[in-house]
Structure 1
Amino acid sequence: MNESKQIYRVAEAARLTGVSASTLRLWERQGLVVPERTETGHRQYNADQVARLKHIAWLRTDRGLNPAAIRENLDVEEQSSTVEMPREANDPGPEIGPRLRALRHASGKTLDAVAADLGMATSKLSTFERTSHGFSIRDLRDLTGYFGTTISKISGEEPIENRSMVKSGEWKTWPTMAPGVTIQLLAEGRNMMDCHRFVLAPGASSEGAYHHEGEEFIFVLTGRFEITLDGQEFYELVAGDSLYFESRRQHSWRNRFDGETVLIWVNTPPTF
């Protein structure tokens, strides 16, 4: 078998690394390495991940670093070795995760502390900080709100100059942040409202409920859209339907149509 494609189970990866299997599980909880999983949930490591494990063991044993210092060391090494590649349309690129990591560092918070406060796995937060992938709209709202910012600001998509009129089809598109969710800007500048055009692929969703300050208005252009408020009010909107609600209410949503659903979504004040 090609060595680069070799897959190791946890016991074998532990033996190659020179630590116990429980140590590998601990490192996973600490966000130092994220193994792949089989369909039955068993951990498995590829050759690159085993090399990373060996490096972690060396940083811990020979350099005496604690988990937080190991994470910082790995992050610096990954950044210095990254080669910038051309970005595809709607690819979030590497910016959003590292920007949020910089906010975390500035706040003096550890990965474990932030993850615990937000109720998410440390490994998930660590992976997002490195790759800018793996988060839902709800996750991004929770994390940006935690640091007192917005998705617009952290993504670098907040426009500086106002453009009063936006021609059809000339909408600026945000970097993709959730599978099947395309968000287009309908009003540019620092306004009192966030005005967006959402294009949702079949099955696209918020992947959980979230809430924040303000008020929201939704108008469905095409397709079928389901939204739940406070876990007990269920609304199914079709083309021509609209909904107005207070943003402080827990809300989750999903495209229930077997094709694209397109809608207008307005928030005030700007919190997106």
Structure 2
Amino acid sequence: MDDIRFKITEAARMAGVSASTLRLWESQGLIEPLRSATGQRLFDQTLMDRLKTIGWLRTEKGLNPAAIREVLKDEGETAAPMETQTAPDEGDAALAIGPKIRHLRRQAGRTLQSVADETGIALSLLSSFERISQGLSLPALHALAACFGTTLAVLSGQEGGDHRQSLVRAGQWTAWPATASGVSIQPLAEGRHQMECHRFVLAPGASSEGAYLHDGEEFLHVLQGRMQIVLDGDQFFDLTAGDSFYFESTRFHAWRNLHEAETVLIWINTPATF
């Protein structure tokens, strides 16, 4: 995971809450921000992942702070023997990503703690994600996929079909199992190819919730709305309908919807490393 740290206003914007809400969560013992030399609150990727989980538990599950603290408690777990596990099919799009990650982890004989240490994801968030398939940002999901030598496309069921041709009719898009609030990723080609072509639909305020990087190159074209791409933490590009953008995937990149309504774009990765 990257070591980029965000100030409280940036973290609040990316989490879709106010800075005062983050201070409240801190007073309730839900988060413990880092501190700069001058005492400013700072949020690294692990904290950003935690904010995502807290927000989801609060809005979608209706849990109060005490209940959220219970869910977020660190949970130790030893690897379960594979003979007692039912192996899910990675290509089964109907199966949530969390159980697939749990299967891969147990298949590799890994504990939650060892995977958390390698990926930089908080143990409690990883444990929660395996159960409910919610609460992790795209950067964290990328780290998990890389940890097990796979990609998000494979985990989401984007494989199979005729590799020589693929036709997806207008309006007949399927979507990856939802893992991030307000982000819908719709494959525009089925099967394993050298390019991954997706239609992204971003709700107002939706974002990557942090920066990530991987091998390859990326191209995107905005169909409607307005969004921002941030490269290497300090280069900002505002894109509106009709704009296109190319960059190397090996650069840290983050993004968010700046539009008051949905932003829709075509996003292409090559090779298939997303």
In the TM superposition, residue 103 of structure 1 has moved relative to its aligned partner by: 1.2
Q: Unpaired runs of 5+ in structure 2?
A: 1-27, 30-52, 59-63, 87-92
In 2, are the aligned partners of 1:223 and 1:238 still within 8 Å (CA)?
yes
Q: Distance in 2 between matches of 1:247 and 1:136?
A: 17
2:233 match:
231
In the TM superposition, residue 174 of structure 1 has moved relative to its aligned partner by: 1.6
Relative distance call for 1:119 and 1:164 in structure 2 (3 A) is closer
In 1, are the aligned partners of 2:205 and 2:257 still within 8 Å (CA)?
yes
1:160 match:
161
In the TM superposition, residue 45 of structure 1 has moved relative to its aligned partner by: 4.2
2:151 match:
150
2:77 match:
68
- 1:174 counterpart letter in structure 2: W
2:18 match:
none
Identical amino acids, percent of aligned pairs: 52
In 1, are the aligned partners of 2:160 and 2:191 still within 8 Å (CA)?
yes
Q: Deviations over 1:62-120 (max 9, x none)?
A: xxxx9434x869xx9xx99xxxxxxxxxxx87631121112112222211121122222
In the TM superposition, residue 194 of structure 1 has moved relative to its aligned partner by: 0.4
1:62 match:
none
2:126 match:
125
In the TM superposition, residue 231 of structure 1 has moved relative to its aligned partner by: 0.6
Total equivalences in the alignment: 205
Q: Tell me the TM-score normalized by structure 2.
A: 0.66
1:116 match:
117
Relative distance call for 1:114 and 1:215 in structure 2 (3 A) is same
1:6 match:
none
| SS of the residue 2:66 aligns to | strand
Relative distance call for 1:262 and 1:107 in structure 2 (3 A) is same
Relative distance call for 1:195 and 1:93 in structure 2 (3 A) is closer
Q: Distance in 2 between matches of 1:221 and 1:128?
A: 32
| SS of the residue 1:189 aligns to | coil
| SS of the residue 1:172 aligns to | coil
Q: Distance in 2 between matches of 1:103 and 1:97?
A: 10
| SS of the residue 2:162 aligns to | coil
1:181 match:
183
Q: Tell me the TM-score normalized by structure 1.
A: 0.67
- 1:264 counterpart letter in structure 2: I
In 2, are the aligned partners of 1:94 and 1:132 still within 8 Å (CA)?
no
Q: Distance in 1 between matches of 2:121 and 2:136?
A: 11
In 1, are the aligned partners of 2:218 and 2:269 still within 8 Å (CA)?
yes
Q: Unpaired runs of 5+ in structure 1?
A: 1-8, 11-33, 54-65, 81-91
In 1, are the aligned partners of 2:158 and 2:187 still within 8 Å (CA)?
no
Give the structure with higher Rg (CA).
Answer: 1
- 1:155 counterpart letter in structure 2: S
CA RMSD of aligned residues (A): 3.2
In 2, are the aligned partners of 1:173 and 1:184 still within 8 Å (CA)?
yes
| SS of the residue 2:141 aligns to | helix
